Structure 1
Amino acid sequence: MSLPSYKDAVKRLDPLDFVAGYLSTRDLLACCLVNKNFNSVFAKYLWENPLRIIGNGAKRIPFHLEKYRLLSKSITATRESTKRLVETIDYRQQWIPKMYALPKHISQRALTMDAGYWNSQRIVYKLLADLPTHFLHAKFLFLDDIEFPASPAPLSTCRPLLVSLRNCQNISMKLSPEDAADALGEVIYLDISHTALRDSYGHPIYSPAHLMLPALRILKLQRVGLLDSDLRSLLAASPHQLQLASLDVRDNKLTDGIIPDLEHHLVWRLDPTSPPPPPSSATAPPNIYLESPPAYTERPRAEDEQQETFIRDSPHPPPDDPESFAASAREHANPGDVMPYAGLTALYLSGNAFTSDAFLRLLKASDRLQVLDLDAPFKETKYSASLPARPTTDEHPAEEHPHPVTTATLLLSLALSPRLSTLRVHHALITHPSTSYHPDTNPHLTSLTLTSIPPLSPLPLIKSLKSFLLAAASQERAISLARSDEGEGGRRGVKVRPGLRHLRLELGGAGVESVSGDRDADA
């Protein structure tokens, strides 16, 4: 996306823009017919996503399909100035479930869903498959739940920033290596979750290395049957060691063997062999809730090191969903500026065969992680026993072989993980008897999710959760007091960390053991 002109940059915002975001499709159309000034403001909101306009309206399938037929016939006669207003091409059939008043009979209901849902979806894509060739300025392309025909790709098509291919078939028709340098050369956000990369016999049907597009920054591969070898070849195809900013590989078949490859795409600590100890009370800042300003960091560069010497801090984690990415792309002329080349800062690894060693190794390798989703249970291993124990204090005496929870508490502290804002982890971090983790361990953390909590929890576990909630309430009062004392909000006011704002408890899940040892008693 090009930078705005000087005239557009200094032009005052039209008050009509504030109103347009709250109007329905019918109201937007009525406002476009008022005069030329109204049309110039409201037309861009009306044509932002044309398929959404067709999807809103009647509840009968033939009426909707007739609308799609009319659009497919009239699109060639549409003015080029109108085509330029289209930003999103969304084939997701969100309106189909609302169109059916399902019969009460189960047999009729199954027949309706099988014949109506899938056939209408295929007809819609067949009628409007060439939309990307007409709307060349579209930036967000959603092709979820579509079976692509084996036909050659068109010569001219749009160059999107976001491509979503969730639960698609024949993705090689859309992600061919020939198109990677041309039509997909500007893709920053790619989602192919729930798409099979292997056939029923385990043979690869699409090379994961072809997914590494030239400008790709956010990659989502959730539930695609990914193996260590697949992810290893994908990371090896990256043109830059710090290119990827967010990687979602949840619910796959990955193991701890892939962790060394992930470490190469992280910004390492100053001394990755021995993390610095947390500051003592004599050198600690007077208020842990005051946030330091972002700055460039100069790192010592070894002879064989390939990472950049200067790494710029990213104030916000990479967008996690298409809506937030689209909003960020519209706000910034160059979406790449929102995500500087700082390596992997958002990792979603839950649902694999990882152990607690992977959790500890990633936190030990880098202090740049902003989002970490890894719910592996904390179990003692040779690696966790080899890690150095935390410094000895009066409250915490020295431990010969610290538990992984103790080591994780140290690595999650504000001194060692100053940028971590979102964490999804096993509940043992809070409920284990040897834990000392509390909200003030890292006041920069704003979202914490505890997984695999037994539905019938024992009393010590409930007491641990209750104590943590009381500590979070105390933190909120302390932060409120810090804001009033430091005068946050002024032009030169000190920024105060928000503290823990979201606490989620996930009951059940894989690996949850019986509380009493008797399944009948638990039931």
Structure 2
Amino acid sequence: MDSLPSYRQATTTPDWLGLVAPYVRFADYRSLCLVSRRSWLIFAPRLWADLFAAARLSGLDPGDDLTWWFDFVFHRLGRVAPSTRALVRVLDARCFAKVAYHFVSYHDHQSLVQTFKRALELLPNVYSILLDGQADLDPGFLIGSLPSSPEHCPRMLSIADCPFHLPNALFASPCLQRLVYLDASRVPGSVLSLLQPTLLPDLRMLKVRGREIDDSTLHALVRAFLTRLWSLDLSDNNITDAAVQKLRDCCISPAQLRSGAHFGVEGNVVPLSQGTPEHGRFFAVEESQWSGTFSHPERHFVDAPVYMANAGPLEFRALRSSGTSPVRRDSTESSARVLSKDDTDLEVDAFRTSRGITHLRLSNTKVSSFGLQKLLRISSGHLEDLACDSMHLLPASSPGAKLWWPESANLHGILGAAHLFRPVFSCNLGVLRIHHSLVTHVPTLEVDGLSTMARIYLAETSILRRVDAAYPQAFVPDMNPRLASLTLTCIPRRSSGPLATRLIDFIKSLSIQERAIQDAAVGASSSWRGPGLLQGLRHLALEFEPDPMEDGFYAPEELGAGDLMNGGEKRFSFFDDGRTERRQPAAAASRHRARKASHSSAVANDASTSGSGRDRESVTHDGEWNGQPFSFPVWTGPAPGSNEVLDEYRRLVVDDGIRDGAGPATPSQIAAGAPDKSYVCHAAWCAAVMPRELKAPARADLAAMGDVLGELRAYRLAGRAKYSELQKRAGDGGLHVPLGEPHFFWTGALKVSTKERPDASPSRWR
């Protein structure tokens, strides 16, 4: 909810000079400060707020950073008026002295550490200190260098990539007890110094990427902070699916944001009386006439105000977002901007308010797609900003599900979870960063002995066909019009067609969405009592992997001389690792028999299921939830011959005994053929998307793969040209060109980034 203005703000006429100040060039600030006292009060804070940024904007060459800094601190800063020095709020050294420090030599008493200590003594109101990647600054110098009075203590400290072990007393220092933002990512040593509950009482945003945090360490960390944090970055750590429940129990508000008040538009989540530790509590989705097709005429309306009798103070209410307010931004730049304001500013107060975690980053961890889905189910709709770049498709707790996959094969991505990103489950979700398979249904394939090009080809041909059969529903924009920003990661640069087509279709659907919102706005404007409208998805970022064409069509170990003669056709199956089949057929068969015997023994000892006859359409799952035993029938699939994926699911459940992850069938699985309100074995269903045999593609197939980035660029340019042409024609006749059809040019912000080789730089285009 946006903060209301104070009485003084609401009744005072704004100063025109303050209104135009954001549009004035930085180069003019110094001159404007000399015009009058009134002008100084407006432009001097803008000039001095960020000291290093001001120096750079004033023309300081990066090679002269240290020469200027030593001279400024030791000879000039002390002569600056105290009222002017008090205007410095940010000390951002992330890009400072990264070019020429090793060329400069100074006496020990004039070391870089001493300059920063001296600067902090002379700058009493530095609220944000950013020292990321400074190899010559030991953060321990902050102890004793900062004022300990509450009104002057820093609120933000970022020391990511610091090469020094942090002193144990650093976070116990009185001068850091007012921190609201702390980034201690990729710093050597443990996080034990953060685990005292009495430390850092005001901390709300914590980033600890790359700190080798495992499940037990995370448990201690979240127990120390409980619901004080609203932003937590755990990327590049060793946490697993087991951490999800700990996050929910300790850090996420228990208040329930889901209700049936929006049933007509969104459907309703019905909690069931059973559950499992791996899946969490069972939920079923009850659809209305419109919700299952995401076509309700009011799907783009913001929530109407909620009036409750005896609800108590506003700060203690648990309400879902109306959809009108942007998601709080916890980036370094946004946090530095907000936390550098005065204590009386309402934005600072909003950053210090927390009802539990709403911003969570789990990229490059051991959390699987099953763990992420569990998080979305049990978080009660509180997550607003979620990031999980890439994840294993199947959890580590279900190793048997991959027993029949080709040797060394693995899949990354998230499939069959589109319904969990709908408002019915994730009502507050506004920013999402996730693997592209949520939209494209193309997982990332890993397998030994195949080149990157070959793996991409197989993922969008042999595997994609099975994914579409198992999970017919992929994510589309109108599944959640409240989502404002989406980043799709790990996108291959090359495609044989399906991947590029699906990305283009998704962008086209964004154009259709904004046309629907435009039409709804026209209808709502006919009445002064018309509802507010959601903006829809306005920011789309596509992050591509390096171009595999530079690696060639085949991996070095993939082909021998015989393979080159027969065009490279070769089969990979569960009998071998793709390189030893012809040489050691007996060993491969022996290994397969051993795996099957081992797994059959495990199935025989499974005491939680019964009734696994081949002629039955269900088996009974027995379990316990909250101390109460329960049982329910698990659907094993239709009679053989319906389709290859459901046949494989039945083989895995009935013949191979893969019965992990039993739970209610999702809307996508019901669309694929599962009976309504039935239960399925989710691990077996997901494992069925992998064929038991992978045939290496022919060289001609790989040579025909196109550049996805080029196809997207061509589509955007063609749409823009058509839109511009229609605007030109309409301008001549005084008409307005509607969005969407026939040009389908999406007017939102599209950003594309590519990962290049280490010696290349990223490229971006709009």
Q: Structure 1 residues 124, 519: CA separation in 2 closer, same or farther (over 3 Å shift)?
A: farther
Give the corresponding residue for 2:242: 257
Larger radius of gyration: 2
Identical pairs, percent: 27
Give the corresponding residue for 2:486: 448
CA–CA distance in 1 between the matches of 2:222 and 2:178? 19
Question: Offset of 1:221 from its aligned partner?
Answer: 1.6
1:188 correspondence with 2:180: yes
Contact 1:217-1:243 at 8 Å conserved across structures: yes
Question: Offset of 1:219 from its aligned partner?
Answer: 1.2
The aligned runs of 1:117-196 (5 Å cut-off) are 123-146=111-134, 147-148=137-138, 153-154=144-145, 156-157=147-148, 158-170=152-164, 172-173=166-167, 176-179=170-173, 182-196=174-188
1:376 correspondence with 2:385: no
CA–CA distance in 2 between the matches of 1:361 and 1:210? 29
1:229 correspondence with 2:216: yes
Which residue of 312, 318, 326 maps to 2:328? Answer: 318
CA–CA distance in 2 between the matches of 1:59 and 1:508? 34
CA–CA distance in 1 between the matches of 2:438 and 2:205? 28
Question: Offset of 1:155 from its aligned partner?
Answer: 6.7
CA–CA distance in 2 between the matches of 1:474 and 1:127? 57
Which residue of 450, 453, 457 maps to 2:495? Answer: 457
Give the corresponding residue for 1:277: 285
Normalization by structure 2: what TM-score?
Answer: 0.53
CA–CA distance in 2 between the matches of 1:471 and 1:378? 26
CA–CA distance in 1 between the matches of 2:180 and 2:65? 36
CA–CA distance in 2 between the matches of 1:309 and 1:11? 31
CA–CA distance in 2 between the matches of 1:451 and 1:60? 33
CA–CA distance in 2 between the matches of 1:87 and 1:435? 53
Give the corresponding residue for 1:101: none
CA–CA distance in 1 between the matches of 2:176 and 2:523? 51
Q: Structure 1 residues 24, 9: CA separation in 2 closer, same or farther (over 3 Å shift)?
A: same
Please tell me the residue identity of whatever aligns with 1:343.
G
CA–CA distance in 2 between the matches of 1:461 and 1:273? 35
Contact 1:266-1:343 at 8 Å conserved across structures: yes
1:411 correspondence with 2:402: no
Give the corresponding residue for 1:367: 381
Please tell me the residue identity of whatever aligns with 2:103.
A
Give the corresponding residue for 2:367: 354
Which residue of 482, 496, 512 maps to 2:533? Answer: 496
Question: Offset of 1:359 from its aligned partner?
Answer: 1.0
Please tell me the residue identity of whatever aligns with 1:35.
S
CA–CA distance in 2 between the matches of 1:426 and 1:232? 26
The aligned runs of 1:204-223 (5 Å cut-off) are 204=190, 207-209=193-195, 213-223=200-210
Q: Structure 1 residues 27, 231: CA separation in 2 closer, same or farther (over 3 Å shift)?
A: same
CA deviation vs aligned residue, 1:399-438 (integer Å, no higher than 9, x gap) = xxxx9733x1222222221211122222322233123132
Q: Structure 1 residues 155, 359: CA separation in 2 closer, same or farther (over 3 Å shift)?
A: closer
The aligned runs of 1:20-31 (5 Å cut-off) are 20-23=21-24, 26-31=27-32
CA deviation vs aligned residue, 1:285-332 (integer Å, no higher than 9, x gap) = 64111110465899x9xxxxxxx9732546443323122223444493
Q: Secondary structure at the match of 2:239?
A: coil
Please tell me the residue identity of whatever aligns with 2:147.
S
Give the corresponding residue for 1:267: 253
Contact 1:160-1:186 at 8 Å conserved across structures: yes
Q: Secondary structure at the match of 2:172?
A: helix
CA–CA distance in 1 between the matches of 2:14 and 2:184? 38
Contact 1:165-1:171 at 8 Å conserved across structures: no
Please tell me the residue identity of whatever aligns with 1:494.
P
Q: Structure 1 residues 169, 11: CA separation in 2 closer, same or farther (over 3 Å shift)?
A: farther
Normalization by structure 1: what TM-score?
Answer: 0.76
Structure 1, unpaired ranges of 5+: 98-111, 199-203, 301-307, 384-402
Number of positions where the alignment pairs a residue of Structure 1 with one of Structure 2? 466
Q: Secondary structure at the match of 2:542?
A: strand
- Higher percent of residues as strand: 2
Which residue of 333, 336, 343 maps to 2:356? Answer: 343
Please tell me the residue identity of whatever aligns with 1:189.
Y
The aligned runs of 1:36-47 (5 Å cut-off) are 36-47=37-48
Please tell me the residue identity of whatever aligns with 2:532.
K
CA–CA distance in 2 between the matches of 1:428 and 1:222? 24
Please tell me the residue identity of whatever aligns with 1:209.
L
